[in-house]
Amino acid sequence: MHPFWEKTEHYNRKLIAPALILLLGIIIYELFFHAENWILELAVEIADTLVITVFAIDLVFLAIRSRSAKFFFKNYWLDVLAVFPFAIFFNFINSLYRAIVVTEQLAVGQALLHETVEVGREAKGLSKGGKIARFLRIAARILRVVTKSRLFAKVHHRRTKKRR
């Protein structure tokens, strides 16, 4: 491997532990604190993106060092799931749902009182969807912590020893 990529891998491995600590801080913030400060929310999103980037770079080097694609996906499938951007996927589904709801409302007509009541009910349903998306983001972050910490490696190693 080229010396530049070896240095990149070396420094990225040193960034995994601070990234885990930052990710635990993000999880604690998401679970227990909810400030309506857009600057703080932006900082959390940027920090989460940086953590995902460090883990994604690590995953690329794991893929390069793997013997085969079968070996890679058999041993690192949880790492692949941890790096997958679920937030982008669920935001796309949420915006698609909103577009469909708005299109239906315009077609039927907004002047009727019954339509106004239905729109209020849909808005309450969307806020519940936002809560579900928030918990899914937290679950994805916890999955990243588990896959990158030594705990998962020890448990996975014990399971493979018992199978033999």
Q: Specify the higher pLDDT residue, 35 or 152.
A: 35
| Cβ 15 vs Cβ 21: under 8 Å | no
Q: Is the pLDDT of residue 155 over 80?
A: no
pLDDT score recorded for residue 84: 79
The CA distance from 149 to 155, in Å, is 11
Residue type, 116: T
Let me know: does 163 contact 74? Beta carbons within 8 Å: no
Alpha helices in 33-112 (DSSP H): 38-65, 69-83, 86-108
Q: What are phi and psi of 34, to 5 degrees?
A: -140, 95
- If you average pLDDT over residues 131-152, what whole number do you get? 74
39-55 mean pLDDT: 90
Of residues 58 and 91, more confidently modeled: 58
In the prediction, which pLDDT does 96 show?
80
User: Which whole number is the average pLDDT over 133-145?
Assistant: 77
Name the pTM for this structure. 0.60
The pLDDT value given to residue 94? 78
pLDDT computed for residue 46 by the predictor:
92
User: Taking the CA of residue 61 as centre, how many other CA atoms within 13 Å lie in the half-sphere pointing to its CB?
Assistant: 17
CA dist., res. 98 & res. 93, Å (int): 9
- Residue with the bigger pLDDT between 55 and 94: it is 55
The answer to whether 144 touches 82, Cβ cutoff 8 Å, is yes
What pLDDT score was predicted for residue 129? 56
- Given pLDDT bands bounded at 50, 70 and 90, which one contains residue 121? low
